[in-house]
Structure 1
Amino acid sequence: MFELRRLRMLHELALRGTLAAVADALAYSPSTISQQLALLEREAGVALFEPDGRGVRLTAPGRLLAAHAERALELDETARIDLERLQPTSVPVRIAVMQTAAQAILAPALSLVAAADPDLRVEVAELPPEEGLFELSARRFDLVVAEQYPGSARAHRADLDREVIGLDPIRLAVAPDDAPTGLSDLRDRAWVMEPRGTAARGWAVDQCRAAGFEPDVRFEIADLTAQVSLIAAGHAVGLLPDLVWGDAAPRARLVDLPSAPTRELFTASRRSAARRPGIVQVRDALRRAFPG
């Protein structure tokens, strides 16, 4: 019989690629991970790993067992949730939330949760959507708040369940005393955008290209409040979602874009955990806390 803890380590190795990354994610030492995986290999009776430079990679049997490990973890989670539905427990709900959602909807959502179930513990970490969705699959979190920009689509994974929270308008943001009428007026300006590889960056660059120019991205900043400061001071222009302002008045002049684009905010959970009472409750609260 395979030990579930060792199968979890194998699953993590298949996702993260190195023993050091697995050790960091699971809060073990690399030597402990290596020892436990060696025991798993002995239990399997076949070679699960082979040398790869200074590290290891999975063999064909290793990849096969890693796939079975993922299903075993899903069954374990489903069993625990079914028991929790019969006998409620105080298992925490761990959430990864992107910055603007953390600023604008997290506090009111937590207030709704506390009013409905004061004993439900919610643990929150702020992470970019791409990282949060990866860590959701790796079981570091139970729920993720992420985004999808118009004209692009994140991969729909069979193991993840998605629910829309709301739609967030995106507008051109410039200094309060600036007066452009549209994107094409800003071809010679300095731009502030999120880092390369993010959905927000890809979408913003595409909008500029559609307007006939390549943006001069002089500032790469993930923190949208820092972007606001640069824009308000006249050092850059940018494309910002309305949620960044929260309940406060905008510190920049906002210009509507053609077709009034919106980004979609959604929650994602593992499908095997979607029926867990705490997750259902937190998702409902996030949806109710969304402005409008």
Structure 2
Amino acid sequence: MFELRRLRLLHELGLRGTIADVAAALSFSPSTVSQQLAQLERDAGVALLEPDGRRVRLTAQGRLLAAHAARALELDEAARAELSHSQDAPARVRIAVMPTAAEALVPPALTLLAERMPDLRLDMVELAPEVALFELQTRAFDLVVAEQYPGHTREVSDGIDRTLLGRDPIRLAVPKDDPATGLADLRDRAWVLEPQGAAVRRWAVQQCRAAGFEPDVRFEATDLVSHARLVAAGHAVAMLPDLVWTGGRSTVSLRQLPGSPVREIFAATRSSSRDNAAVTAVRDALAEALAAHEPR
């Protein structure tokens, strides 16, 4: 009989690629992970791992068992959720959210949940969507709030469900006294954008190129609040979604972008959580918080 804990280690190795990464993620020593995987090989009666330079990789049989491990973990999660719901036990939901959602959506969602499910414990971590969506597959989180920009759909993974929470308008943000009326007027301005490689950076650059210029990117930051502060201080212009303005937008001027683009805010959960009442309640509260958001 296969032990579920060992199956999880194999599943994690298939996702993360190295024993060291599995050990770090699960707070084990690499030697413990290796020993448990060796025992799993003995239980299976076939080779699950093979050398790959200084590392190991899954054999064909290892990949086959890892796929079965993923399904076993899904069944375990679904069974635990159903048992917890039937016993009215206190629920716990772990979420990972992007920075703007952490500031604009989580506080009002918590207020709604305190009224509807007072015994619910919500644990939140702020993470970039790319990292959070990967960790969702490893069961580090139960729900992830992420975004995708026009023309840049995020990768779809097996066993992951997505629910659209709402749409967030994207506008030009310029200093309060800036006379620019549109994107074409900003060819000579200093820009703040996200770092190279980010999907939103590529999208923003394409908007500038469509307007006939290459943006002069002098500032790079992952935190959109820092973008807003650079704009408010008169040092840069930016393309920012409305969720950024939770704390107020009176310090900048906003202009419409061509086509009035929006980014989609979505919640990602594992398919095995589809009937989890607590996860559903958190997702619904986040959607209501987004629908009620009004930039000041």
Q: TM-score range by the shorter chain?
A: over 0.9
Alignment of 1:57-206 (within 5 A): 57-206=57-206
User: Would you say the 8 A contact 1:49–1:59 is kept in 2?
Assistant: yes
Aligned to 1:40: 40
Pair 1:233-2:203 in alignment:
no
Aligned to 2:263: 263
Aligned counterparts of 1:198 and 1:143: Cα–Cα separation in 2: 22
Task: Describe the superposition over 1:196-228 as per-residue Cα deviations: whole angstroms up to 9, x where unpaired.
Answer: 332322221221122122222222200111111
What secondary structure does 1:259 align onto?
coil
Pair 1:223-2:223 in alignment:
yes
User: Would you say the 8 A contact 1:228–1:251 is kept in 2?
Assistant: no
Q: Which runs of 5 or more structure 1 residues have no equivalent in the other structure?
A: none
C-alpha displacement of 1:247: 4.9
Aligned counterparts of 1:60 and 1:250: Cα–Cα separation in 2: 59
Aligned counterparts of 2:120 and 2:180: Cα–Cα separation in 1: 49
Aligned counterparts of 2:262 and 2:4: Cα–Cα separation in 1: 43
Aligned counterparts of 2:218 and 2:34: Cα–Cα separation in 1: 44
Equivalent AA in structure 2 for residue 266 of structure 1: F
What secondary structure does 2:179 align onto?
coil
What secondary structure does 2:109 align onto?
helix
Aligned counterparts of 1:52 and 1:73: Cα–Cα separation in 2: 27
C-alpha displacement of 1:189: 2.5
Aligned counterparts of 2:247 and 2:236: Cα–Cα separation in 1: 23
User: Would you say the 8 A contact 2:145–2:265 is kept in 1?
Assistant: yes
User: Would you say the 8 A contact 2:90–2:119 is kept in 1?
Assistant: yes
- The normalised TM-score by structure 2 is 0.94
Equivalent AA in structure 1 for residue 15 of structure 2: L
What secondary structure does 1:123 align onto?
strand
Aligned counterparts of 1:188 and 1:50: Cα–Cα separation in 2: 56
Aligned counterparts of 2:189 and 2:15: Cα–Cα separation in 1: 41
Equivalent AA in structure 2 for residue 253 of structure 1: S
- The share of aligned pairs that are identical, in percent, is 63
Aligned counterparts of 2:178 and 2:263: Cα–Cα separation in 1: 25
Q: Which runs of 5 or more structure 2 residues have no equivalent in the other structure?
A: none
C-alpha displacement of 1:82: 2.2
Pair 1:52-2:84 in alignment:
no
Mark the CA change 1:250 to 1:138 in structure 2 (over 3 Å): closer, same or farther: farther
Mark the CA change 1:119 to 1:106 in structure 2 (over 3 Å): closer, same or farther: same
User: Would you say the 8 A contact 2:91–2:119 is kept in 1?
Assistant: no
What secondary structure does 1:10 align onto?
helix
Equivalent AA in structure 1 for residue 197 of structure 2: G
Aligned to 2:251: 251
C-alpha displacement of 1:280: 0.9
User: Would you say the 8 A contact 1:150–1:261 is kept in 2?
Assistant: yes
Superposition RMSD on alpha carbons, in Å?
Answer: 1.4
Aligned counterparts of 1:8 and 1:69: Cα–Cα separation in 2: 7
* Residue range with higher mean Cα deviation, 221-230 or 250-259: 250-259
